[in-house]
Amino acid sequence: PNAVETATWVLESMTQLVTPATIGSDAHGYGLLDDAVARVDAEYDIVIVDAPPGHNPMFKNALYAAPNLIVPATAEASSKGAVDRLFDEIAAFETDTGREIDEIAAVTNRIRMSTNAADEMTAILAEVFNDVPVYEIPERVALSYAYVAGESICEHQPDADVTETFGQLGDHIIEAFDLKVTA
């Protein structure tokens, strides 16, 4: 299997992992992913966890293991409600665990040429995330092709217009965590 299939399998499997037998002394069962990442026998500056938001074990394990959040939202009217629910889930998680979640950036993705919904969602995210950058990713078929190939867009089509925005987001993450680039 390629990297995308493997990551998908791991995340789907997590829903089956959170049982009374597996959580042990973890009061909430949110520490499984954190424990798994801690056991990786390699050093990483950043670990990115992509978990669907919601009232589910995957999302709560992701928040527990990676409390710095990049919020993606599609450029559609329905995303406003999804962002509101996300903040409700985060607030409940913070109250439940005492862990603070920090928003690092927001990404409006799948922006179609210029639609009212896309413009509205971009404006909403800019207002909601007024203290962190909001990156805009247009809808591109090249992103789908890269996903199917199991590659990043930077590998699959390095000259695609969206690679610049991903580079800017990467630069922001490097700066936010004061990382040193050595490669």
Each residue's pLDDT tens digit, 141-161:
888 899 899 998 889 999 998
Inter-residue contact 121 to 77 (CB < 8 Å): yes
Instruction: Report the C-alpha gap between 67 and 90 in whole angstroms.
Output: 10
Spell out the residues 6+ positions from residue 165 whose beta carbon is closer than 8 angstroms to its own.
Answer: 135, 136, 137
Percent of the chain with pLDDT over 70: 83
Query: What confidence score (pLDDT) does residue 47 get?
Result: 81
What is the structure's pLDDT at 169? 92
| 5: its two tokens | 């299939």
Tokens 């007024």 -> residue: 130
Taking only the tens place, the pLDDT of each residue in 48-77 is 888 878 777 788 888 998 999 998 888 777
Tally of helices (H runs) and strands (E runs) in the chain: 9, 3
Q: Which residues pair with 71 in a beta bridge?
A: 106
**144 exposed, middle or buried (CB, 10 Å; 0-12, 13-18, 19+)?**
exposed
Q: pLDDT at residue 24 above 50?
A: yes
Q: What is the pLDDT of residue 39?
A: 80
Whether the per-residue pLDDT at 133 is higher than 50: the answer is: yes
Mean pLDDT on 92-102: 93
Domains of the chain listed by start with CATH number? 3-176 (3.40.50.300)
Q: How far apart are CA 163 and CA 152, in angstroms?
A: 10
Instruction: Give the contacts of 89 (CB within 8 A, at least 6 positions apart).
Output: 53, 54, 55, 59
- Three-state DSSP at 95 gives helix
pLDDT exceeds 60 at position 11: no
pTM: 0.76
Q: CA-CA distance, 3 to 52, in Å (whole number)?
A: 18
